[in-house]
Structures are given as C-alpha cells and as structure tokens.
Amino acid sequence: MSDGWKTNMKFEHLLSVVNGFGRFQMMIIIISFIGRFTLPCHFLLNNFIAAVPSHHCDLSALDDGSIFGNLTQEQRLTVSVPVQEDGTPSSCKMFPEPQFQLLSNSNDHDLVTVPCQNGWAYDNSTFKSTLATEWDLVCDQKGQNKATTTIFFIGVMFGAMTFGSLSDRFGRKTMLLVSYISGMLFGFASAFSTSFIMFAVLRFFTGFGITGIVIVSSVLSVEWVDIEHRKLVGVIDSLSWTFGYCMIPAIAYCVTDWRQLTIAVTSPLALAILTWRWIPESARWLIANGKFEKANFYLQQCAQMNQEEEFGSKITPEVKRKDRTHSHLDLVRTPKMRRLALLTGIVWYGVASTFYGISFNITGFGLNIYLTQFVYGAIELPAKLSAYYLLDKVGRRNTEVGSLLGAGICLAINIFIPRDMSVLRTVVAVLGKGCSATSFTTVVLYSSELFPTVVRQNGMGYNSSMGRLGVSLAPLILLLDEVWRDLPQVLLCSIALLASLVARMLPETRDRCLPETIQDTDIPLKSKDNDEVENGY
C-alpha cells in the first residue's frame, strides 16, 4: 500500500477524531458565505449597469425659438424623429430639420434622415445612469457596451487558472485574502472610471481578482469536512450563488446609479476581509506540503471548537513527506491525470455553456427586469435542494449525467414547440434551467472530490477556466439565430448531451476518501468503510 494511500486514510481518521462536521466547519462555511455573496452579484452586474434604456436623438438643438418650442414632447418627436417598422421612434436617426407636415401626414418614408447630431436623450424612469447613458454606448457604439460582459469573464477565466495554481503553491488562506483585497480594490476603482477604456480594464481585473474567492473557498470547505457531509457543504456553498442571484435585483432596484451599484455589490468584501483572520488553512494542504506543526495547530483548534478535547494526535513526517512543488503540468503528467483533466474540462464547459445559454434565452415571463431576475434566481432553489437529495441517493456521477441529460431534453423539446406557444416554451425553459442549475451544483463538488489534494486547486482552476470559456461563448451561440432560428437551441442541446455522455465516463466519488497524491489516482478509490472498491480513474 502506497504512502499516499496511508496518508489518505490517516487524514480521514484524524477528521473523525476532531469531528469532521462541527462548529469549526460551520464557522468556515458562514465566513466563506460572506465573500461568496459578491460573486453572483458581480457576475450579473452587467444586466443592470450596462442596461440600455429607451432613447432617441437629442432634439434640443432644433429649438430655435420658432414654432418648434411651442410643441409638446410627443409632437417634437413626430416632426424630428422617423418612425420604425414597429411604430416606435427611431433610436439612432433624426431629420436634419423639423418636418412640420408630419403633424397632419404620418408618411415619412421618403424623407431624408441623418444619424443623431447632438447626442441622445434617455428615459431615466428605470435607471438614473448606466454605462450606455454615461458614455453614449448606443447605436454605432453599442458593441462596446456588450463587450463589457465578455471582458469581465475573460478576466475570470485567467484568474481561475492563476489562483488555482497559486493556492496550491502558497496555501488556500493566503490566496483567499489576495482575492478578497484585489477584487475589492479593482471593484471600487472601476466605479470611479473616467472613461470606458478605463472601466473595461478595471472590469477585467475585477473578474480576475474575485474568481479566486469561489475557487479557493469551495476547496477549503470540502477539505475540512468528513465524507458524510461533503455533499451538504457543496450544496450550501452553491446556495450563496442563489442568494446573491435573488438579492441583486433588490439592490439594483434601490440603487439605480451604476457607480453606486458597483460599490454596493463590492462592499461585502470589506466584511469578508475583516473575518478572514478566523479562516483556517487547509490541514490537508499543510500535510501535503510538509507543514506538520501548523497542521497540528489547526487540528487542535478544530478539536477544541468542536468540543473534542481528547484529541492529542501528532502528525509526523512519516504520515506524509513533501516531495516537490506541483503545478498545472501535473494535470497532464500521467495518463490517468490527462484523462481526468480532459473529461472534467469538457463537462465544465458543457455545464457552463448550457446554464448560461438557457439563462440568456429564457423569454415569455412578461415581467420587468427586476422581477425577471428574481424569478431566475428563485427557480434555482428547488433545483439545488433536489441536488442535496440526489447526491447521496444516486451518487455524484448519476446526478451530473441525469441533470445534463434533462437540460438537453428540455432544449430539444423547445425546438419543436411553436413560437406562438410562449407560455409552454417558458415552462420548458424553466425546467431546463433547473436541470442546468442542478448540474452546476454537482460539478463543483464532484470535481473537487476527483482531484488529489496536491493539485486540487490547479484542477479546479483549470476546470473553472473551461467553464468561463463556456460562459463567454454562450452569447455568441445565441447570435447564430440569424443563420437559422433554431440553431442556438440545437447547439446547446448537443453540448448538454455530449457533456452528459462524457460525465458518464468519470468515476463515482460518493462515500470515498479524497485522494491526496497523484499516485492515489492510480489505485482504486476506497470507501469509508473499507468494504467497497471501485476502479480508479
């Protein structure tokens, strides 16, 4: 039996001695929840700060003191702005001079129009200010406004790889603080941007900084709990996303200025920094890196807080020897690690692309932007509670396979439902989003259990980057409806079904000890009761 396997079983035994799920673990979950709350808020922030309110060309320059000044606002629009096919005033065109004859004749098809000459007038009834109103990111410049989401998620993608690698090298706790501080500083700084370029750059680094929060805190929580409670911790961690999803509409409803809203959703990180001092380092990581005295310190602390005063075990170099520093290269160093990285990367891409593809494409509610956003978050709650039940009853692998399969089926069904049956299409889309939410909850816990401790953060960073790649490409997939109306649905359905098939090739981790070393991936996974063996990766 290898040293890594002995270490694996030894640490699980230590957790049982100090109580693998007590006050100490609840403290970690609660403190992590504070920092994680800001993640969904920032991920969805662009839905509000980049919103484009109704607008038309600014007509103030046409008021030369003549009859134009005596017209009502509706009459001014009639004589100054052409009407679109749907009967609404054009947002980007105007007449070079007032066309007073239109007050009695509504036919403006043969009249000359020009682009807006003096800026735009915006409807401020919903938003006091947005990026679009601040820098006139409309009409020919609307692409810049849409690019802010892509820029942010590119930052998230690079941050995931970086924080995953650095937290395996310098520790979970240290990199969590770095993520807190960098996310807060760049988030606050972006609220004071004086140009769009400055905002875009700071938004990139905000995404880069805050992504470490979810990667590090998820792994830290899992590494401190026993086998029986890992799925509970995974579901609780995912509920922080749902909570933020439901809260940001309320925050945005009260704070309608984009600068103030950015500050509001970033502010919880200040509290997270204050509570960081009580976050323990991962004892698993400390042992894997030969820091036995510190590991003993935190295990003693855990035992005392969990009222297990009799704990007196000492960790010695015999338990685990540090051999070398690990990096992303270790994810492809051995055949089985390469296979694991390939399979989990495909699953993460499929999960993220399906989840956001459905989220961006749900229509038919007929609700305002705040209520719609709240409903999108609320429907995730039953999905994630069902995941809590399924993770133990049918296992991680079957839950992942089934939820992706369900999302793919819902996407396929909507291809054949007529467009005019909007209520039925919406119901099916909501069911699909529920399935995709279940798959997202499962994949975070599942993948953290698959990778060994020495490269767990590297693995999670790589997987998160694959997921963010899926997020970035999802809006581009939806634009393909111009090629063929149902092409986005067909592609998303195919991605979900492919990811489901790939997930079926991964091993089950229910009731299994976490692998500690890369060598552990080459031996069978053993259950907590030592009576059930399953083939390795």
Domain-terminating residue out of 278, 293, 318: 318
Answer yes or no: is 150 within a domain.
Answer: yes
Mean pLDDT of 137-166: 83
pLDDT of amino acid 64: 61
- Kindly state whether residues 309 and 446 are assigned to the same domain: no
pLDDT higher for 324 or 172? 172
Query: How many contiguous H segments (helices) and E segments (strands) does the chain have?
Result: 21, 6
Quick: pLDDT tens for 397-438.
Answer: 999 999 999 999 999 998 888 877 777 877 888 888 889 989
pLDDT of amino acid 43: 86
- Kindly state whether residues 392 and 259 are assigned to the same domain: no
CATH of the domain at 484: 1.20.1250.20
Domain-terminating residue out of 270, 297, 318: 318
Strands 120-122 and 55-57: antiparallel
Q: Are 193 and 199 in contact (CB under 8 A)?
A: yes
Helix axes 230-254 and 196-223, enclosed angle (nearest 10): 150
The answer on pLDDT for 321 being more than 70 is: no
Q: Are 44 and 248 in contact (CB under 8 A)?
A: yes
Mean pLDDT of 264-289: 91
From CA 494, how far away is CA 354, in angstroms rounded?
10
Instruction: Output phi, psi for 204, to 5 deg.
Output: -60, -50
In one-letter notation, the amino acid at residue 168 is D
Answer yes or no: is 154 within a domain.
Answer: yes
Our count of domains for the chain comes to: 2
Answer yes or no: is 535 within a domain.
Answer: no
Please give the helix or strand (H or E) that residue 55 lies within, else none: strand 55-57
pLDDT higher for 498 or 164? 498
Answer yes or no: is 80 within a domain.
Answer: no
Answer yes or no: is 440 within a domain.
Answer: yes
Question: Other C-beta atoms within 10 Å of 351: how many?
Answer: 33
Answer yes or no: is 436 within a domain.
Answer: yes
Q: Could you give the percent of the chain with pLDDT greater than 90?
A: 25
From residue 16, alpha-carbon distances to 9, 145, 294, 502, 528 in Å are 11, 53, 19, 34, 11
pLDDT of amino acid 536: 32
pLDDT of amino acid 63: 65
Mean pLDDT of 145-172: 84
Nearest CA among 351, 354, 295 for reference residue 322: 295
Answer yes or no: is 99 within a domain.
Answer: no
| Cα atoms found within 13 Å of the Cα of residue 157, Cβ hemisphere only | 19
Quick: pLDDT tens for 202-245.
Answer: 999 999 999 889 888 888 888 888 878 877 887 888 888 888 88
Q: What residues contact residue 175 under an 8 Å CB cut-off, 6+ apart?
A: 163, 166, 167, 212, 216
The answer on pLDDT for 5 being more than 50 is: no
pLDDT of amino acid 401: 96
- Kindly state whether residues 293 and 331 are assigned to the same domain: no
- Kindly state whether residues 336 and 247 are assigned to the same domain: no
Answer yes or no: is 252 within a domain.
Answer: yes
- Kindly state whether residues 183 and 47 are assigned to the same domain: yes
pLDDT of amino acid 418: 85
Q: Could you give the percent of the chain with pLDDT greater than 70?
A: 86
pLDDT of amino acid 516: 75
pLDDT of amino acid 346: 95
Q: For residue 441, what are the domain limits?
A: 325-525
Q: What share of the chain is helix, strand, coil (3-state, %, to 5)?
A: 70, 5, 30
From CA 253, how far away is CA 256, in angstroms rounded?
6
Q: Which of 64-73, 194-203, 454-463 has the highest mean pLDDT?
A: 194-203
pTM of the model: 0.77
Helix boundaries (H) for 364-508: 369-378, 380-393, 396-416, 422-450, 456-478, 487-503
pLDDT of amino acid 535: 34
Paired tokens of 95: 């007449």
Confidence of residue 53 (pLDDT cuts 50, 70, 90): confident
- Kindly state whether residues 311 and 329 are assigned to the same domain: no
Paired tokens of 512: 């299994």
- Kindly state whether residues 219 and 345 are assigned to the same domain: no
Mean pLDDT of 7-29: 78
- State the first-to-last Cα distance of the chain, in angstroms, to the nearest integer: 18
Q: Are 158 and 465 in contact (CB under 8 A)?
A: yes
Quick: pLDDT tens for 375-404.
Answer: 778 888 898 888 888 888 899 999 999 999
Mean pLDDT of 237-254: 88
Domain-terminating residue out of 318, 339, 362: 318
